Structure 1
Amino acid sequence: MATVQSLDHIIGSRIALARIVRGWTCGQLADRAGLAPRTVKCIEAGKLRAGATRLFSFAVVLGVPISWFFEPRPRLPQRRQLTRQ
């Protein structure tokens, strides 16, 4: 069973993965999500928890369903499937 800390790390890694597949920097994701780049970096590193509101915002901005962050083996989002913001 995953601990809260490991889940924070997994979710942060998924956010980073979706961002990288999109070709965005932390700063670009931060701008689109209305956050500071440092906040995005801390969330991606699992050092800061993404609450429900932030996680929903990331899902919308990154064009993935919120469930994607929790799937055991998520499929990589395809660039063409991601909506452009």
Structure 2
Amino acid sequence: MLSEESSDRGDREHKPSPIDVHVGGRVRLRRTLLGMSQEKLGEALGLTFQQVQKYERGVNRIGASRLFDIARVLDVPIGFFFDDMPGSYGNNSTRSRINGAGFAEGQEGFEDDALNRRETLELVRAYYRITEPAVRKRVFDLIKSLAPVE
């Protein structure tokens, strides 16, 4: 039997889970870094671009088998979608269960949206288009030298 609270959910605006929003954002990040459109990702998964949009916004929750398919298409391990999980959602025990080998330590309370900015994505794409490894390393070193020391 449905509780009064759960039956009222249809009447109220649905607020996506922060975890679903994070995972969807990571799908968007990887898709964009690959230069793949929502339409292309949808075709590879047998979905419409509107379904991909809903996954990326966290409006629709991504099930385990679908996440497995997305990871395969985007050529990343499943743990990628949980990297940089903000605040209390990203505790170490969760991370080690997701990855098995454990993730590199992320910042607690990671709230910076820099990874989702178009500027960041364009910079990363341009960086990886540099085919000469020595030149790419020099660009990397230059950027690091220009950033303030923490």
TM-score, normalised via structure 1 length: 0.79
User: Any gaps of 5 or more consecutive residues in structure 1?
Assistant: 81-85
One-letter code aligned to 2:60: L
Residue correspondence of structure 1 range 43-62 to structure 2 within 5 A? 43-62=55-74
Segments ≥4 residues shifted beyond 6 Å: none
Distance 1:27 1:52 in 2: 21
Kindly indicate whether residue 76 of structure 2 is the aligned counterpart of residue 64 of structure 1. Answer: yes
Shift of 1:12: 0.3
Distance 2:45 2:37 in 1: 12
Shift of 1:5: 0.2
One-letter code aligned to 1:46: G
Partner residue in 1 for 2:44: 32
Distance 2:24 2:72 in 1: 15
One-letter code aligned to 1:20: T
One-letter code aligned to 1:9: V
Q: Which has the higher contact order (CA 8 A, sep 6+)?
A: 1
**15-24 vs 4-13, which moves further:** 4-13
Shift of 1:37: 1.0
Shift of 1:9: 0.2
What is the aligned counterpart of 2:54 among 31, 42, 58?
42
One-letter code aligned to 2:24: G
Partner residue in 2 for 1:9: 21
Between structure 1 and structure 2, the one with the greater Rg is 2
Q: Report percent identity of matched pairs.
A: 38
Please tell me the root mean square deviation across aligned C-alpha atoms, in Å. Answer: 2.3
Distance 1:33 1:25 in 2: 13
Distance 2:37 2:72 in 1: 17
Distance 2:66 2:43 in 1: 13
TM-score, normalised via structure 2 length: 0.46
Q: Deviations over 1:32-63 (max 9, x none)?
A: 11111111000001100000011000000000
